[in-house]
Amino acid sequence: MPSSREVTILLVEDDEVDIKALKWAFKKLRIVNPVEVARDGVEAWEALQNVERPYLIITDINMPRMNGIELLRKIRESKELRDSIVFVLTTSNDEQDKIDAYDLNVAGYMLKSDMGTSFMRAIEMVENYWKVVELPGTG
């Protein structure tokens, strides 16, 4: 049975530069967890049908086909997936997006605006989250 530290990260992001930045941050922080990338909510939904627990989702809001809020709604409506741990990492500082995300029980809402120190702290916080919190599917 995997430990709570062997968490798969499902990164839902359509911007290649942001994907590379996140992977760089994981590497710099020595986060070696498996990372699966979905380019939008549709791909993420399909990936969630096959991702083994425990997993953690980091999603953007603004994406084509199915955005992050739509994905969150679909996850929360699913009996099998509604307990998924989801963080939002986005450029959207829109108050309604924040309200919608927290209404859908996100674990945190973080802005990409500072890809320097604050960004690294946000990724570090996500890593520390799964080290401290018991996730569904960890036995």
Q: Where are the domains of the chain?
A: 8-132
Q: How confident is the model at residue 16 (pLDDT cuts 50, 70, 90)?
A: very high
Beta strand pairing status for 55-59 and 8-12?
A: parallel
Cβ-count burial 35-64 (b if 16+ within 10 Å, e if not): ebbbbbbbbbbebbeebeebbbbbbbbebe
Task: Note the pLDDT tens digit of each residue in 67-77.
Answer: 999 999 999 99
- Give me the phi and psi of 48, to 5 degrees please: -65, -20
Q: How confident is the model at residue 29 (pLDDT cuts 50, 70, 90)?
A: confident
Task: Note the pLDDT tens digit of each residue in 80-131.
Answer: 999 999 999 998 999 999 999 999 999 989 888 765 666 677 777 777 776 6
Widest CA span of the chain, in angstroms?
40
Asked if pLDDT for residue 3 goes beyond 80, the answer is no
Query: Nearest CA to 85 among 53, 46, 49, 116?
Result: 53
The fold of 8-132 is: Rossmann fold (3.40.50)
Do residues 138 and 2 make contact, with C-beta atoms less than 8 angstroms apart? yes
Give dist(CA 133, CA 139) in Å, integer.
13
Query: Nearest CA to 137 among 37, 48, 25?
Result: 48
